[in-house]
Structure 1
Amino acid sequence: MANGLEKILDRHAEVIETGFKQPKGQPFRSYAISNLRGGVGKSSIAFNLAYEISRKHSLLVADVCPQCNVTEMLFGDYRPKVNINNALQPMILGPAFGDQPEDISYKVSQHCDDFKGGKGAYAIAGHSELFAFPSMLYQQLNIAHASQQKSAVRNLLGGLKKILDREAQDKKCEKIIIDTSPFYAGGTHLAWCAVEALIVPVRVDEHSIESLHLTFKQLSDPTRDFYTWNERAGGRPTPKIAAIVMTMVGSKSQKKATPDQASRMYIERALALAEEFAKLFHHDEPSDAFVLTDDFHSAGRISGAKRIPISELKVQSFHKVENRRLQVNASAQRYRNQLRYLASMI
C-alpha cells in the first residue's frame, strides 16, 4: 500500500513538473466515464478529455446522461434534431416505435471552435427523456428474460454498442467515449455493456469513496444487477477499469505538486479498494491506473461555463462567469499537464 501510494504521488509530481505522458495508451477503443455519484467533475473531465483525445485520434462522444451537461458544453445553445434517445427507443421497443435513425452524430468543431484541428470529433447529443429510459429498458429486459430468450436479452444489452459501433464506422472514428449518468440504471447500464473500459472519477470525499466501492461491487458481485443481467444474456464481458481519476486533490495544499493530508488519506483509501478488486483493472498494479487532478478553481469554472477546453485557456485572461470576473492564473498549466497525462493513458 505504502509503495503504491508513493508511486502515485511521485508520478503526480512528475506530471506537474515535467509534463510527463505515457508513451503508449491502453489497448481499448471504447471508454465510459462513470461514477455512481454526481458532483465529482465527471462532465468537466469528459469535455476536456474529448478535446485532448481528438488531437491525436478521431473521436466519437456520446452523452447518455439526461442532465446533458456534456451536450451543452459541446453544442452550446444548439440542440441537435437527432439525439441518443431517438436511436435507443426503436432499438429497445422495436420498429413500431419508429425507424432507426441514421447519421446521428454531429461534428463538434461546427459548434465549438476550439475543437477545430486535430483528428476530428463527432458527438451524439443526450436528451432529458433519458430520465424515463430505465423503466422502458427493464420492462423489455424482463419480458425477454421471462420468455427465456437469451438472444433477446443479449440484443437489448448490446443495443447501445451496436448504435455506437455503426456510427463510429460511418464517421471513421478511432475512439469512443461515453459520458454517463451518476445513476447506474438505464443509459449507464447500457454504457457499461457498450465499452471495453471505464474511467472512474472519484472526488476526495467520503461519499465518493463509498460510490467507488459500490461501482466495484456492481462490476464483480454475482448477486448484483450488472453481473446478473450479463449472465441472463448468456455471458457478456465486464469492462476493465482503465483509470481512477481522483478529483479536487490538493485544494488546501500550500505545496506545489503535494496533495494535502486529507487528500492523501482519500487517495490511500481509494487505492486500498482498488487493490481489493485488482482483477477489475487492466493494469497489473492498480496504482498505475491512478491519475490525480487538482481542484480546478476558476479555470475549471471558466472551462465549463465558456465551453473552452482547459488546454485552450490563456493564462491571465479574464472571463465573466455568473456575473463574476474570473482570471485564468498560471496554475492552468498544471491542469493541462494532468489532463494530457490522462489522455495519454487512453
Structure 2
Amino acid sequence: MSIERIISRQYEIANGISNDIGLPKFKKYAMCNLRGGIGKTTLAFNLSYLTNDLLAVDTCPQGNLSYFFDNQYYSSQAPTVRDLILPYLVPGLGKATRVASYVGATNEYFADKNVYYIPSTEELYLLPSQLITAINQALGLQGAQKEQSLKSILYSLKEEIDREMEQNQLERCLIDTSPFFAGATQLAWYAADALVIPVRTDQQSVKSLELLINTLTSPQSEFRKYLPTNDLKVPQIQMVVLTHCGWSTVSGARNEPNQQTKVYLKKVFDILSRHRTLLSTGDPSNHLFMLDDFLGSGRISSVESKPLSLLHSGETKVIDRVRVSVNKSVDKCKHQLQYINQQLWG
C-alpha cells in the first residue's frame, strides 16, 4: 500500500473512466475538519447536487451552505437546525417538526432534484455554552437517569435528522459543519455514520486532521468522555479529500500531482496509515482522494449558487469588476466530484 496507487488512480478519475473501489456505503455523512477555508461547504454543496433523496443539514453558524440553497436565507424567519436541538437542552420547549425545505423551491438548479435542507443560524455560536450547561446538569444526575439524559442530549441531532428523513422519505444525509468542534459540530459527529474530511494542501490543514483524529480517539476528548463505550457511536472515516491540488506540468505527465501536492499527499497518507482502524476499510489508499483547485470555476459557482457540474468551459462572469472564466479543467473537476460521490452513495 502506497501513495503510488492513489496517484495512478487519479488519471482514470480525471477522465471519468474509473471504477467504484467498493467502499462500504453509509446513509449519513458529516463533512468536517477543524479548520476553515479548506472547501467543506463547497464540497458539500456540489455533492448535494450529484445525488437524490438527500437531506442536507447546515450546522455551521456562518450559514454559507444555507445561502447557496436559498439566497434569501439571511432574511428568512424559517425554523433552523437550532430549533431542532434546543428542546433537548432546555426542558419544556416544544419540538419543531417538518423543518426541512425543498431546495428546488429556492435554487432553480435543484428543480429536478429531490433534495431538502435544514438551514443554519448565527445563533449556533451560542450553542456550545448551552450544550455544556445541559451536559453538566445531566452529569449531576445518578445512575441510569444520568446515562439516559446524556444520550438524549448528545444524540439529539441524530434523532431529529432521522425523523426528518423519515417524514420526507429521504435515504441520505450530508451534514456540513463548522471549523470548531464544540456545539453543533459535536452533535453532528454523533449523528453521522461516517466522516468526509477535506484537507487543504498546507501544514495547518494537516495539523487540523491530526487534531480531529485525536478528538475522535482520545478517551478524554469532548467527543468520547461523556458516554460509556457501549453507548458511544463512533463514526468511521469514509474519505479524506485533499483539496486545492496542483499538477505536474512536465511533458507526458498524466494527472500526476506536483511536488507540493505530493508532499501533503504523503503526510496525510502516513496519518491514515497510523489510524487505519478508524477507516471504513483497512486500506488507507482506499480513502484518500485528490481534488483540483476550482479557480475561476469555483468563484462563478459560488457567486451564482450554481453547482460546478452545470458549468461549461469558456463561460465568463464579471465578479467585483473582474471578468472571471470557467477554466478548461472544469471537466476534470466534474469527474473528480462524480467519483467522490460514487464512493459515498454508489
C-alpha distance in 2, partners of 1:93/1:21?
48
> Which one of 136, 141, 153 corresponds to residue 142 of structure 1?
136
Aligned positions of 1:51-70 closer than 5 A: 51-54=49-52, 58-70=53-65
Query: Residue 326 of structure 2 aligns with which residue?
Result: 328
Aligned positions of 1:34-49 closer than 5 A: 34-49=32-47
Aligned positions of 1:184-199 closer than 5 A: 184-199=181-196
Measured against aligned partners, the alpha-carbon deviations of 1:125-163 in whole angstroms (never above 9, x if no partner) come to 000000010000011001101223011001100100011
Contact 2:248 2:255 in 1 (8 A): no
Matched, 1:110 2:105: yes
State percent identity of aligned pairs: 30
> Which one of 244, 250, 257 corresponds to residue 248 of structure 1?
244
C-alpha distance in 2, partners of 1:38/1:252?
27
SS in 2 for 1:338: helix
SS in 2 for 1:303: helix
Contact 1:241 1:282 in 2 (8 A): yes
Contact 2:35 2:180 in 1 (8 A): yes
- Taking a change above 3 Å as real, the CA distance of residues 199 and 140 of structure 1, as seen in their structure-2 partners, is same
Shift of the alpha carbon at 1:113? 1.2
User: What amino acid does structure 2 have at the position aligned with 1:186?
Assistant: G
SS in 2 for 1:228: coil
Q: Which runs of 5+ in 1 are unaligned?
A: none
Contact 2:29 2:193 in 1 (8 A): yes
Shift of the alpha carbon at 1:310? 0.5
Measured against aligned partners, the alpha-carbon deviations of 1:43-73 in whole angstroms (never above 9, x if no partner) come to 100100111122xxx0000000001110011
Aligned positions of 1:115-134 closer than 5 A: 115-118=110-113, 120-134=114-128
Contact 2:245 2:293 in 1 (8 A): yes
Measured against aligned partners, the alpha-carbon deviations of 1:163-198 in whole angstroms (never above 9, x if no partner) come to 100000000110001000110001010000001100
C-alpha distance in 2, partners of 1:32/1:315?
31
SS in 2 for 1:229: coil
Shift of the alpha carbon at 1:222? 1.2
C-alpha distance in 2, partners of 1:80/1:175?
26
- Taking a change above 3 Å as real, the CA distance of residues 188 and 224 of structure 1, as seen in their structure-2 partners, is same
Query: Residue 340 of structure 1 aligns with which residue?
Result: 338
Shift of the alpha carbon at 1:103? 1.0
- Taking a change above 3 Å as real, the CA distance of residues 266 and 144 of structure 1, as seen in their structure-2 partners, is same
> Which one of 62, 68, 71 corresponds to residue 73 of structure 1?
68
C-alpha distance in 1, partners of 2:190/2:227?
9
Contact 2:23 2:280 in 1 (8 A): no
> Which one of 161, 177, 180 corresponds to residue 158 of structure 2?
161
Query: Residue 296 of structure 2 aligns with which residue?
Result: 298
Contact 2:248 2:256 in 1 (8 A): no
Shift of the alpha carbon at 1:12? 1.3
SS in 2 for 1:136: helix
Shift of the alpha carbon at 1:115? 1.2
Shift of the alpha carbon at 1:322? 2.5
Contact 2:30 2:192 in 1 (8 A): yes
Shift of the alpha carbon at 1:100? 0.8
Query: Residue 85 of structure 1 aligns with which residue?
Result: 82
- Taking a change above 3 Å as real, the CA distance of residues 252 and 203 of structure 1, as seen in their structure-2 partners, is farther
Aligned positions of 1:176-325 closer than 5 A: 176-231=173-228, 235-250=231-246, 257-325=255-323
Shift of the alpha carbon at 1:252? 7.4
Contact 1:154 1:234 in 2 (8 A): no
Contact 2:247 2:255 in 1 (8 A): no
> Which one of 18, 35, 41 corresponds to residue 20 of structure 1?
18
Q: TM-score, normalised by structure 1?
A: 0.94
Contact 1:161 1:194 in 2 (8 A): yes
Runs of 4 or more, structure 1, over 3 Å off, are 251-256
C-alpha distance in 2, partners of 1:183/1:321?
30
Measured against aligned partners, the alpha-carbon deviations of 1:190-210 in whole angstroms (never above 9, x if no partner) come to 000001100000001000000
Query: Residue 167 of structure 2 aligns with which residue?
Result: 170
